[in-house]
Chains A and B, each alone.
Chain A
Amino acid sequence: MATTARIETKDRGPVVGMQEFLAQLLADEEIGAVLVPMHLQQGGTPMPTLVTDPAELAQADPLAPAFPLNGARMVGRLTHGRPGEKIAAVMRPCEVRAFIELVKLNQGSMDELVIIGVDCLGAYKNSDYFALLGEDDPIQTTLAFLGKTGGTKATARNGYDIARACRVCEFPVAEGADIQVGLFGVNFDDGLPVAAYSVRGEALLSRLGLAEMEPLASREQALREAVATRTALRDAVFKEVSAKTGSLKGLSQHLAGCVNCYNCRTACPVCYCKECVFLTDVFDHKPWQYMSWAKQRGMLKLPSDTVFFHLTRMAHMSTACVGCGQCSNACPNGIEVMELFRTVAAKTQAGFDYEPGRSLDEPPPLSVFHKNEFPEVAPVE
Chain B
Amino acid sequence: METQVLEHEAPQVTGGVGFEPTIVAFVCNWCTYTAADLAGTSRMIQQPNLRLIRMMCTGMVDPKYILKTLLSGADGVLVSGCHPGDCHYINGNYKARRRVKLLGDILTQFGVDPRRLKLTWVGASEGNEFAETVNTMIDDIRALGPMEARSLKVL
- Measured CB to CB, the residues of A under 8 A from B are 242, 245-252, 277, 295-299, 301, 304-308, 311-312, 314-315, 318-319, 343-344, 347-348, 351-352, 365-366, 369-371, 373-374, 377-381
Contact = CB atoms under 8 A, between A and B. Distances in A.
A145 B102 CA distance: 41
Contacts of A366: 95, 98-99, 102
A343 B109 contact: yes
In order of increasing CB-CB distance, the 7 nearest A-B pairs are: A298-B2, A369-B94, A247-B111, A315-B63, A378-B119, A351-B105, A307-B155
A296 B148 contact: no
Nearest to A350: B105
A246 B153 CA distance: 18
A372 to B, nearest CB: 9
B141 to A, nearest CB: 16
Contacts of B105: 344, 347-348, 351
A248 B102 contact: no
Interface string B1-34: 1110110011000000000000000000000000
A356 to B, nearest CB: 14
A314 B106 contact: yes
Contacts of B100: 377-378
8 contacts: A247-B111, A248-B112, A295-B5, A296-B10, A298-B153, A351-B101, A369-B98, A374-B97
- Interface size classification for chain B: 35 or more
Given A248-B155, A249-B148, A298-B153, A381 B106 contact: no
Contacts of A247: 110-111, 148
Given A296-B10, A312-B63, A344 B109 contact: yes
Contacts of A315: 63-64, 67, 99, 102-103, 106
Contact of A308 (B71, B99, B101, B153): B71
Contacts of B9: 295-296
A299 B109 CA distance: 27
Interface in B83-125: 83-85, 91, 94-95, 97-107, 109-112, 119-121
Contacts of B110: 245-248, 250-251
Contacts of A379: 121
B102 A306 contact: no
A275 B56 CA distance: 25
Contact of A245 (B5, B85, B109, B153): B109
B106 A318 contact: yes
A182 B68 CA distance: 47
Contacts of A252: 152, 154-155
B76 interface: no
Chain A CB within 10 Å, residue with most, of B2, B84, B105: B105
Given A247-B148, A348-B102, A373-B97, A297 B153 contact: yes
A315 B103 CA distance: 7
A311 to B, nearest CB: 5
Contacts of B119: 377-378
Nearest to A277: B64
B149 interface: yes
B127 interface: no
A105 to B, nearest CB: 16
Interface string B117-155: 001110000000000000000000000000011001111
A20 to B, nearest CB: 47
Given A315-B63, A344-B109, A377-B119, A299 B153 contact: yes
Contacts of A295: 5, 9
Contacts of A343: 109
Chain A CB within 10 Å, residue with most, of B64, B71, B110: B110
A371 B95 CA distance: 10
Nearest to B151: A249
Contact of B73 (A296, A301, A311): A296
Nearest to B1: A298
Contact of B97 (A242, A296, A377): A377
Interface in B37-57: none
Contacts of B64: 277, 308, 312, 315
Given A248-B112, A296-B10, A378-B120, A312 B67 contact: yes
A371 B85 CA distance: 9
A280 to B, nearest CB: 11
A318 B100 CA distance: 14
A302 to B, nearest CB: 11
Chain B CB within 10 Å, residue with most, of A242, A246, A298, A304: A298
A242 B149 CA distance: 18
B98 A374 contact: yes
Nearest to B112: A248
Interface string B66-78: 0110010100000
